[in-house]
Amino acid sequence: MRQPSLTSTASYQALQSHAKDAQQWQMRDLFAQDPQRFERLSSEAAGLFLDYSKNRLDGRTLALLADLARERGAEKLRDAMFNGDKINLTEHRAVLHTALRAPKDKQITVDGQDITADVHGVLARIKAFSDAVRNGQWLGHTGKEITDIVNIGIGGSDLGPKMVCLALRQYAHPRLTMHFVSNVDGHDMDAALSRVNPETTLFIIASKTFTTAETMMNANTARQWFLKHASEAALAKHFVAVSTNVEAIKKFGIDPDNMFPFWDWVGGRYSVWSAIGLPVALCVGYGYFADFLAGAHALDEHFRTAPIEENLPMILALVGFWNREFLGCASVSIAPYHQDLNRFPAYLQQLEMESNGKRVTRAGDTITDYETCPVIWGDVGTNGQHAYFQLLHQGTDVTPMDFIATLRPAHEFQNHHAALLANCFAQSEAFMKGKTADEVRVDLAGQDPAEIERLVPHKTFPGNRPSNTILMEYLTPATLGALIALYEHKTFVQGALWDVNSFDQWGVELGKVLAKKIEAELNGDAQPAQHDGSTNGLIARAKAAV
């Protein structure tokens, strides 16, 4: 169904008019004028606290943004998603990753069928299998316990479980070492295989269709490596699949009893809650995996029921939309001040950019009069401070930031944690306040006046740079689940505002199709007529190097 153009809506035009004033605001002044700003512009739910007061907005801005969300039907689309409607229009699919973390007594239907029993049936199988591996009942073909688990997938089949296993390392089984192979570059597989023993290694092949090119190349390489040390009969003890293609996994040598399915209504980048999360259950145990699901469900319920003005995903989405559309911010930097979240920025890159990196509306109209998804990037603090924060403080672009931190650490080095939080809070303050020329002169007082004036422009910081801060008590399976769900729903809401389908990814496919043609040419006779001069030249150089 075709919506009115975003820029033609009354609420967008009201925001556009309002933005002319807001662009002149200084956040220093906003805080000085309102002593209660922090209390008014912060909210919490599901173990997460969000401070969005360090953004160039006020109560009027938020009210207008809420009006826009209603006018764009964000709440109705949210309800349609939770109801199992086929909101993925280009693939005619429901979008129900939320069903993967719903409790047993929650009835959820797709095409008239209650899917809750199916979901919990797979969860029961995950529990039984992960328990058997972790407690030593599942043995390799020579009778030894499993010590290493190699997950072979790509995209959501890699980024999600890898990020979560790293984030929850405090909960990991001491005997099990997790490895993740995703890149078709043989160096990735070589590095993993060089560290494992075929007698004690379990491979998880994660591909819904069991045809994903990169995953299957890596899977077949792992299979060939294993068969140098064991017979084909031993494959079933060392390979399992997250897939729905029974015939393909049987041909590969995997026992169908060790196939863990998921469904078309689970998109890859939303799939860590499904059987794709099997590595997580193996790593931390099913009990903590269940807590991970429960934390996400708690945030789901908040998102589903809270009014826009108190709804964390809605607020995060609307603030980001404001920064993108009306303040001209083309990227967002994610800064987790927690080393165990070091892969979280990469996870969000796929979640947001693959979801909302679109240039056509859901009705297929080309978007020409507004921008969609910003570039998502980042790294852990304090590392980023000594790498790219210089640009964020004094560069020509304004880049909003999301700071993420825990109030309590999972280690005993309290002085480290105090220093970490001090850096986190100081950076958000510095981005907001900046440093004026007069403040620089005060700092340099006593030096040669001419030298002071020479240094003033170099030591002045414009400030007025927006940020959010997300805090949790501890990084636990439950709070991590809630944090991921927060960003999932933020992404959903922004997709609704931009009127893009957040649940397909056709842009991923074009390169794959061309790669198949070029791979055949690299391995055989080149067909120059199919390519441009540059591509032909690159192919020729590659063939000459063989």
* pLDDT tens-digit map of 337-347: 999 999 999 99
* pLDDT tens-digit map of 56-92: 999 999 999 999 999 999 999 999 999 999 999 999 9
- Give yes or no for residue 315 having a pLDDT over 80: yes
**What is the distance between the alpha carbons of residues 447 and 444, in angstroms, rounded to a whole number?**
6
DSSP designation for 136 = T
Let me know if the fold of 14-85+292-390+400-436+467-498 is the same as that of 97-290.
yes
Burial of 165 (0-12, 13-18, 19+ CB in 10 A): buried
> Would you state the pLDDT for residue 513?
81
Range 279-288 average pLDDT: 98
Range 451-465 average pLDDT: 97
The predicted model scores a pTM of 0.96
More confident residue, 183 or 520: 183
- Give yes or no for residue 147 having a pLDDT over 70: yes
> Would you state the pLDDT for residue 528?
59
Measured CA distances, 539 to 183, 213, 514, 535 (Å): 21, 20, 13, 6
Burial of 91 (0-12, 13-18, 19+ CB in 10 A): middle
pLDDT averaged over the chain? Answer: 96
Range 399-406 average pLDDT: 98
26 contacts: CB under 8 Å, gap ≥ 6: 463, 464
Burial of 469 (0-12, 13-18, 19+ CB in 10 A): buried
* pLDDT tens-digit map of 191-208: 999 999 999 999 999 999
Helix-helix angle 507-522:533-545, to 10 degrees: 50
> Would you state the pLDDT for residue 529?
63
Chosen CATH of 14-85+292-390+400-436+467-498 out of 3.40.250.10, 3.40.640.10, 1.20.120.160, 3.40.50.10490: 3.40.50.10490
> Would you state the pLDDT for residue 490?
98
- Give yes or no for residue 2 having a pLDDT over 90: no
Range 155-180 average pLDDT: 98
- Give yes or no for residue 508 having a pLDDT over 90: no
**What is the distance between the alpha carbons of residues 264 and 143, in angstroms, rounded to a whole number?**
37
Range 356-367 average pLDDT: 97
> Would you state the pLDDT for residue 159?
97
- What residues are annotated to the active site? 354, 386, 512
Residue with tokens 């295989």: 193
The pLDDT confidence band at residue 517, using thresholds 50, 70 and 90, is confident
Cα 247 off chain centre by: 32
The pLDDT confidence band at residue 510, using thresholds 50, 70 and 90, is confident
Return the closest-CA partner of residue 168 out of 55, 287, 68.
287
- Give yes or no for residue 274 having a pLDDT over 80: yes
Range 234-254 average pLDDT: 96
Structural domain boundaries in the chain: 14-85+292-390+400-436+467-498, 97-290, 507-545
The continuous run of DSSP H or E covering 114 comes out as strand 113-114
Helix-helix angle 477-498:59-71, to 10 degrees: 70
Chosen CATH of 97-290 out of 3.40.50.450, 1.10.3470.10, 3.30.1330.40, 3.40.50.10490: 3.40.50.10490
Token pair belonging to 111: 């095409």
Phi-psi region at 406: left, alpha or beta (left = phi > 0; alpha = psi -120 to 50): beta
> Would you state the pLDDT for residue 527?
66
> Would you state the pLDDT for residue 526?
59
Contact 466, 292 (CB under 8 A): no
Q: N- to C-terminal Cα distance for the chain? A: 53
More confident residue, 377 or 532: 377
The continuous run of DSSP H or E covering 74 comes out as helix 74-82
